[in-house]
Amino acid sequence: MAELKVLFATSEVAPLIKTGGLADVSSALPAALRAIGVDVRVLLPGYNQVMAKLVQYQVVATFDDLPGFPSARLLSSTMAHNVPLLVLDCPSLYQREGGPYQNALGHDWADNALRFGLLSQVAAVLGCSDSPLSWHPDLVHCNDWQTGLTPAYLHFAPGAVPSIIAIHNLAFQGNFPPVTVQQLHLPTSCFSIDGLEFYGNMSFLKAGLFYADHITTVSPNYAKEIQQEELGFGMQGLLTMRRDSLTGILNGIDTDEWNPESDPYLVKQFNSANMSGKAANKEALQRKMGLNIEPDVPLLGVVSRFTHQKGLDLLLDIAPILTEFPVQLVMLGKGDAQLQKTARDLWRHYPGKISAVIGFSEELSHLIEAGADMFVMPSRFEPCGLNQLYSQCYGTPPIVHATGGLVDSVVDCTTETLDDGTASGFTFDGMTDENLYTAIRRAVNLYHVKNKWETLRKNCMAKNFSWQSSAQAYRAVYLKVLSA
């Protein structure tokens, strides 16, 4: 058959603009899809950060008459791995100081509905028969609420191609007042329970979930969880109704960027056959973070947003007790002000044992993955998660709450799983201090049994988390939708 053509609409792409895992997926998945013969082109807003990194581009379309929206241009360029990039250039909406969704003070942009309404509308225009481009996609792949209106616009447009929407985190829904429906020039008839109405507001995400031809999530287990009340965030009824059109596909990772054999951020590279670099990176991490240089004390690593979702409150609560094992703890991240304060207080009270950097550093995140002995990720919910995948590649067994993609990617270490070669970390059920403490205790106990710990590390590093199998699964979804 002819080459499959897909428009991949997203609000962030690494390294051009990144706030979380969506950016990593939007960079790696299109590249993996192109590697298996899918003609993917990525559509992205022209934020300040994006425009500053565009070296070469050409104007391929202008949008001067989209009802309710300011004029915009479409720029054609190329991103990593020679993936074609379409940048939506609208200075009045995207070129401003701050992040893609919030200003410098951390407040949502007041016109986010217009900003991502335009992104959704342009994605739909490109998926219609009267698209201004000579390249016409067979399908539009939308991501999260920021492109959630695309399936709705396509539904009401003549000559439209099918669409799928990927849920990266159901908790973020893009909910706005009812008047937004008229402002974005959607039919008033769609503001109903069988449409984009959601508890009295209009919801970008619900629009996508209702009108898209298929829904994907970033792990098989999360696809099940979001059909239940606890993690359905009010959408569980709709998702249950659409369960036959719902597929969970575990994210992969960029194994070129996250590879201990070639990682430029490490002081010494290593692999499963020669693990000496692991100790060298541990010592470098201890020095950099002001920890005591103690090679035999297990070092726990954390790279995370400091939020309630990530469960760091539990870890911070038990941190003083953990130092008595003894263990060391290093944390990198930012977020909730109170959690940041607690982390700083622990750093001051336990010098040499606990250290924290509030912020983000690509270099330090790689060094933590390589230098830590185990990685702690006690998320209350986690659609997929990436750090537990990175950790395993670096021989750093993760300690995780049994939820979402963490369940799909980490096999709890027991006598049986260690013997059969499947063990790759430690899991715990139930979000309590005690359960997290018990899981860390199990990990620390095994750490001191050197032959078993080495076996566990090698198990981790033998796992294949490349995007290849995930890309094949997405291609299968595309073909299923197009054959329906």
pLDDT tens-digit map of 337-376 = 999 999 999 999 999 999 999 998 999 999 999 999 999 9
Residue 21: which pLDDT band, with cuts at 50, 70 and 90? confident
Q: Are residues 64 and 197 in the same domain?
A: yes
Residue 446 neighbours by CB distance under 10 Å: 20
Q: Are residues 75 and 164 in the same domain?
A: yes
When pLDDT is averaged across residues 368-396 and rounded to a whole number, the result is 97
Residue 261 lies in a domain: no
Q: Are residues 396 and 316 in the same domain?
A: yes
Residue 258 lies in a domain: no
Q: Are residues 348 and 451 in the same domain?
A: yes
Residue 381 token pair: 């919910």
Q: Are residues 379 and 429 in the same domain?
A: yes
pLDDT tens column, 225-239? 999 999 999 999 999
pLDDT tens column, 152-190? 999 999 999 999 999 999 999 999 999 999 999 999 999
**Domain count of the fold of the chain:** 2
Q: Are residues 221 and 303 in the same domain?
A: no
Residue 407: which pLDDT band, with cuts at 50, 70 and 90? very high
Q: Are residues 154 and 303 in the same domain?
A: no
Residue 418 lies in a domain: yes
- Is it the case that residue 1 has pLDDT exceeding 50? no
pLDDT at 144: 98
Distance CA 226, CA 224 (A): 6
When pLDDT is averaged across residues 48-66 and rounded to a whole number, the result is 95
Residue 259 lies in a domain: no
Spatial strand order in the sheet of 139-143:
58-63, 72-78, 84-89, 39-45, 5-9, 139-143, 163-167, 214-217, 246-248
Average per-residue pLDDT in the chain?
Answer: 96
C-alpha count within 13 angstroms, C-beta hemisphere, residue 461: 21
Residue 392 lies in a domain: yes
Among 436, 416, 177, residue whose Cα is nearest residue 327: 436
Report the C-alpha dihedral over residues 278, 279, 280, 283, rounded to 10 degrees: 120
Q: CB under 8 Å to 31, separation ≥6 — which residues?
A: 80, 81, 83, 467
When pLDDT is averaged across residues 94-102 and rounded to a whole number, the result is 95
Q: Are residues 447 and 474 in the same domain?
A: no
Residue 269 lies in a domain: no
- Is it the case that residue 267 has pLDDT exceeding 60? yes
pLDDT at 81: 86
Q: CB under 8 Å to 43, separation ≥6 — which residues?
A: 7, 8, 9, 10, 86, 88, 119, 122, 123, 126
- What CATH number does the domain containing 141 carry? 3.40.50.2000
pLDDT at 254: 86
Q: Are residues 238 and 111 in the same domain?
A: yes
Among 222, 399, 424, 410, residue whose Cα is nearest residue 312: 399
What is the span of the domain harbouring residue 458? 276-462
Q: Are residues 230 and 282 in the same domain?
A: no
Q: Are residues 389 and 476 in the same domain?
A: no
Residue 33 lies in a domain: yes
Residue 115 lies in a domain: yes
Q: Are residues 476 and 371 in the same domain?
A: no
